[in-house]
């Protein structure tokens, strides 16, 4: 039930999908019966779009408590500048890097996505070729002054991550699962997005002032050693550690908990207040 497209409006809103105003309300507002037909077309289009909203994603979780703490510190500083943004903040226990989003309509499709990810275990491990994939996070960027994220420092690791995302997309496509987002893959760690708080628009906050983040241009957030790629549900109840419900995970087994060469370690999820 929780997986039905319109089952949980609150969750959709929390995820940043603004709920659409009811068509009846709009018709009353416009007060023009000659427009009813085109409004019905609009409604159909909107419903189709809503029905195809992504409800699953494939991602790399952020497990390093140092990164979570650094993000939380920045979020706190942003709130000191503008307290209205609190609902737009991403809870640090859900931080992740999205590789792909998809709309999975049925349990069969979820199972198919899970087995597709499972089958990627060997190719993704082969991509790493025994090396550790460490993502260094530094500085803050934004998409259209609406989505704010921590940047990943340039380097070879970005190529590897991009290859991982491409493998996932290709395998999902070959299984008949279309990516729910046609944006170019630009890996990022989102910690604030305006779409999470639709009320802000009504309060006149349509764009974020870049000055809110200019202090963090060269802030170091820490390193994440990539240990896992997950297929997560956007809508199912979060797990006890505050992270998304995982349908399937691929782990980089040879690297787990082997910190013999020094550097970043894989961390289990911890609960942050
Ligand atoms: P996520 O980090 O996956 O929660 O994404 C946050 C938001 O950033 C989503 O609304 C994405 O559609 C948006 N987004 C992701 N990649 C891009 C991109 N390359 N350009 C602009 N927006 C993007």
Enumerate the domain spans of the chain: 12-53, 55-257
Q: Residue 173 and residue 27: Cα distance in Å, rounded?
A: 39
What pLDDT score does 213 carry? Answer: 95
Atom of ligand 1 minimally distant from the CA of 97: 2
Rounded to whole angstroms, the maximal C-alpha distance in the chain is 72
How far does the centroid of ligand 1 lie from the alpha carbon of residue 184, in Å? 9
Superfamily classification of domain 55-257: Cyclic phosphodiesterase (3.90.1140.10)
Cβ of 98: how many Cβ atoms within 10 Å? 18
pTM of the model: 0.84
225 lines ligand 1 (CB under 6 A): no
Model pLDDT, residue 108: 98
Half-sphere exposure of 226 (CA within 13 A, CB side): 28
Would you write out the chain's pLDDT as a tens digit for each of its 273 residues?
A: 444 443 455 565 556 555 444 444 544 555 555 566 676 777 766 666 666 899 999 999 999 999 999 999 999 999 999 999 999 999 999 999 999 999 999 999 999 999 999 999 999 999 998 899 999 999 999 999 999 999 999 999 999 999 999 999 999 999 999 998 889 999 999 999 999 999 999 888 999 999 999 999 999 999 999 999 999 999 999 999 999 999 999 999 764 444 444 456 667 543 333
Atom of ligand 1 nearest to the CA of 181: 12
Instruction: Give the separation between CA 210 and CA 116, rounded to whole angstroms.
Output: 40
Phi, psi torsion values for 229, nearest 5 degrees = -125, 130
Distance (angstroms) between ligand 1 centre and the Cα of 70 equals: 21
Question: To which H or E segment does residue 149 belong?
Answer: strand 147-152
CB 167 within 8 A of CB 124: yes
Q: Which residues of 204-213 are buried (b: 16+ CB within 10 A; e: fewer)?
A: ebeebeeebb
What's the distance, CA 73 to chain centroid? 20
Q: Is 25 in the pocket of ligand 1 (CB under 6 A)?
A: no
193 CB near ligand 1 (under 6 Å): yes
Residue partners of 237: CB distance under 8 A and separation at least 6 = 2, 245
- Regarding the beta carbon of 150 and ligand 1, being less than 6 Å apart is answered no
Mutate to test the pocket of ligand 1, among 143, 180, 191 (most ligand atoms within 8 A of CB): 143
pLDDT for 248 equals 98
Element of type H or E holding 171: helix 156-174
182 lines ligand 1 (CB under 6 A): no
Atom of ligand 1 nearest to the CA of 184: 19
Which pLDDT belongs to residue 271? Answer: 35
How many whole angstroms from 265 Cα to the centroid of ligand 1? 27
- Ligand 1, atom 2, lies closest to the CA of 190
Report the C-alpha gap between 172 and 229 in whole angstroms: 14
| Ligand 1 atom 15 nearest Cα | 183
The reported pLDDT for the residue numbered 253 is 75
């Amino acid at each position: 039930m929780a997986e039905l497209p319109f089952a949980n409006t609150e969750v959709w809103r929390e995820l940043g999908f603004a709920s659409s105003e009811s068509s009846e309300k709009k018709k009353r507002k416009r007060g023009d019966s000659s427009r009813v037909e085109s409004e019905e077309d609009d409604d159909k289009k909107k419903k189709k779009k809503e029905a195809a909203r992504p409800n699953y994603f494939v991602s790399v979780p952020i497990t390093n408590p140092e990164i979570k703490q650094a993000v939380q510190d920045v979020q706190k500083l942003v709130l000191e500048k503008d307290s209205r943004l609190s609902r737009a903040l991403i809870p640090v226990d859900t931080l992740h890097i999205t590789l792909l989003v998809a709309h999975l309509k049925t349990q069969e499709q979820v199972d198919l996505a899970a087995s597709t990810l499972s089958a990627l275990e060997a190719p993704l491990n082969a991509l790493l070729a025994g090396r550790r994939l460490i993502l260094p996070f530094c500085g803050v960027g934004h998409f259209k002054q609406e989505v704010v994220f921590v940047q990943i420092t340039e380097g070879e690791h970005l190529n590897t991550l991009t290859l991982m995302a491409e493998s996932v997309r290709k395998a999902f496509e070959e299984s008949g699962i279309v990516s729910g987002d046609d944006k170019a893959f630009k890996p990022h760690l989102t910690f604030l997005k305006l779409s999470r708080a639709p009320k802000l628009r009504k309060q006149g906050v349509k764009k974020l002032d870049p000055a809110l983040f200019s202090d963090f241009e060269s802030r170091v957030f820490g390193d994440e050693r990539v240990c896992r790629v997950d297929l997560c549900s956007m809508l199912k109840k979060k797990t006890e550690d505050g992270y998304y419900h995982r349908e399937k995970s691929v782990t980089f087994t040879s690297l787990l908990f082997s910190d013999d060469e020094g550097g970043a370690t894989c961390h289990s999820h911890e609960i942050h207040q």
